[in-house]
Chain A
Amino acid sequence: MAPAPKLKLAVWKFASCDGCQLTLLNCEDELLAIADRVDIAEFREASRAVAQGPYDLSLVEGSITTVRDASRILEIRRASKTLVTIGACATAGGIQALRNFKDVNDFISLVYASPQYIDTLATSTAIAAHVRVDFELRGCPIDARQLIEVIGAYVHGHRPRTPSHSVCIECKQRGTVCVMVARGTPCLGPVTHTGCGALCPTYHRGCYGCFGPMETPNTGSLSEWWGHLGVREEDVVRAFRTFNADAEAFRREAQAHEH
């Protein structure tokens, strides 16, 4: 039997902190095991070598914040058979999407000594706002096991096992005691997409919502309950405005509490 052609993988970076790409670098042991099946054609964090497209699988990190990036993502889409976005920046605009709720020019003049060199869009947007995305892998940063699962799913042709229910289910599966019920700690777990392994509640923290909204987020009911727990309106806004501030359900909930 002739060996199957190698899968050509590319990793692309847009506005982001590189944390999600580093997650991929940390998977080197797993990736070595498939070195004969996968060709890493483009991955600036790992190698300077660049192979020509087209690519079988493109992993895209980061959000669109410049005119140049807005056209670069179109090219990448054209050159990619399958395009998977990884991390909160790529799937929701990231923390830098906080600019979407303010005037970006105010930030620029405050932060930079020579604002005239800054060329940026007024918004930070998810990749899916610009091109068709085949699969979104959530998280800030993404979870290494889930990344391996997604790559494996494309290599072997099965559906990735990345459930989109609440973090609560993962807490209960681990036997973690609910921090909201047992301590009165405000937690975003019930409206947040699972995937982290219920990390924060296991260490007695409320969930920060790193994986964005779950499949059917009832944010209004949760905020109302937070009110009973003594959380102030402005803190509700802050809780929903972090790494996934521009994910629709979180954006709407924050807006509803902004006066």
Chain B
Amino acid sequence: MQIIERSAFPVLCEALQRRGYELVGPTLRDGAIVYDRLASAADLPIGWTDEQQGGAYRLKQRPDGALFGYAVGPHSWKKYFLPSEQALWRAEREENGFRIIEDRRDAPKLVLIGVRSCELHAMAIQDKVLMGGACVDPWYASQRERVFIVAVNCGQAGGTCFCVSMHTGPKATSGYDLALTEVLEGDRHYFVVDVGTEAGEALLLDIPHREARDEEAKTAEEVVTQTAKTMGRTMDTTSIKELLYANVEHPRWERVAARCLACGNCTMVCPTCYCTTVEDVTDLAGEQTERRRTWDSCFTMDFSHLHGVGSVRSSTKGRYRQWMTHKLATWFDQFGTSGCVGCGRCITWCPVAIDITEEVRAIREATS
């Protein structure tokens, strides 16, 4: 364990920028903490926090100058690896047919600042989906190779967080170059640093730091222990796959469908949802076309559209069941892990506060 003082934090960012990395991380925009490009550490939401519940998110000022004193917001890091819209290739008409143009550029070198433990788990899950099988997604893989990750162990749980139930946090255990625990004690403000990779170790040499004292390391432990005790939500995951498979027909699905707007917000904000659609965008003259990949959601009718039949999953009941069963059951069969990391985004950002933990509880209680 090492110590970086708060005053040296900007130096860490600058050292990464000198190595050719662009900074991306949390910043204030439009009434929320989103992920975006940062010019420097000063663009972090310093002294801000959030209050979250089902269907509600509010920014609040903190009494201190914490850099990472909030939970996850509406964006997830997947937007950098699997952008919401991406051109895959273009084609141009030629005299006798057409020519395919692949202008693949190198992914930018990004440093992701403030990645939380649940988010590291979400990335590991998407890695399995998009790089783990026989077909590797080259766009995803090339960005994945060009990131430096500065993780942050959560100093407070959000109102909809349940990483403890999902065994995905609040302490980062792998998948980072450096992991920081932010400590604010009286007039002291420092980061306890855990080095995850050689690149992380090399970077540390460029930043003022020192070995952590025992009590400092202990304080950092206490920060995460305290966070773990204040989770906004819990989910009992005992035999969850079997529970959902046994309840494909359950009156609860109808009840949630009466509230569900089939708007797709939950899938869009979920850091593990990976579904996309591809479409060709042709100019009016018919000379150029571009194949684009965009985020899709199992809540849309087009998602389950079959030619000549229409949507084969047309009821909202069927679509909500698809989403929840995929996250918590079929994902295990498909990829060997849960599809949910307990980040709580789908609860906060559901416009009508539908809560995946509450839905599991209702089905479990009615079954036992």
Contacts and interface: CB of A to CB of B under 8 A. Distances in A.
Interface residues of A, number: 42
Given A155-B286, A191-B261, A177 B300 contact: no
B262 interface: yes
Contact of B261 (A166, A176, A181, A184): A166
B264 A221 contact: no
A34 B285 contact: yes
Interface in B330-364: 348-349, 351-353
Contacts of A204: 30-31
B32 A169 contact: no
Nearest to B297: A169
Contacts of A222: 261, 351-352
B131 to A, nearest CB: 23
B75 interface: yes
Contacts of A190: 261, 263, 265, 351-352
A174 interface: yes
Interface in B272-327: 279-286, 294-295, 297, 299-302, 314, 316
B301 A165 contact: yes
A64 to B, nearest CB: 29
B284 A33 contact: yes
B159 to A, nearest CB: 12
Given A33-B285, A221-B352, A168 B264 contact: yes
Contact of A218 (B262, B265, B300): B262
A99 to B, nearest CB: 30
Contacts of A168: 263-265, 268, 351
A180 B57 CA distance: 9
Nearest to A222: B261
Nearest to B319: A216
Interface string B18-39: 0000000000011110100000
B66 interface: no
B58 interface: yes
B269 interface: yes
Contact of B32 (A33, A151, A177): A177
A213 to B, nearest CB: 12
Nearest to B85: A173
Interface string A152-176: 1001101001011110110011111
A172 to B, nearest CB: 3
Contacts of B58: 182
B297 A165 contact: yes
B200 interface: no
A173 B57 CA distance: 19
A152 B300 contact: no
Contact of A169 (B29, B264, B285, B348): B264
B33 to A, nearest CB: 9
A222 B58 CA distance: 20
A221 B56 contact: no
A33 B285 CA distance: 6
B259 interface: yes
Nearest to B35: A175
B295 A181 contact: no
Given A177-B34, A181-B57, A165 B285 contact: no
A153 to B, nearest CB: 9
Interface residues of B, number: 47
B79 interface: yes
Nearest to A187: B351
A180 to B, nearest CB: 5
A106 interface: no
Given A151-B284, A169-B268, A215-B301, A183 B263 contact: no
A173 B352 contact: no
A227 B129 CA distance: 41
A20 interface: no
Given A166-B261, A181-B351, A204-B30, A218 B316 contact: yes
B349 A34 contact: no
Given A34-B285, A175-B34, A181 B302 contact: no
A123 B84 CA distance: 43
A31 interface: yes
A225 interface: yes
B284 A161 contact: no
Given A165-B297, A182-B58, A225-B55, A177 B264 contact: no
Contacts of B297: 165, 169
A89 interface: no
B258 interface: yes
B205 to A, nearest CB: 36
A52 to B, nearest CB: 25
B74 interface: yes
Given A156-B282, A175-B84, 16 more contacts: A158-B280, A158-B282, A163-B302, A165-B264, A165-B299, A173-B268, A173-B295, A177-B32, A180-B351, A184-B56, A189-B263, A190-B261, A190-B265, A216-B316, A221-B261, A222-B261
20 contacts: A152-B286, A158-B280, A161-B281, A165-B301, A166-B263, A169-B295, A173-B294, A175-B75, A175-B79, A175-B84, A181-B74, A182-B58, A183-B31, A187-B351, A189-B351, A191-B261, A216-B301, A218-B261, A218-B316, A221-B258
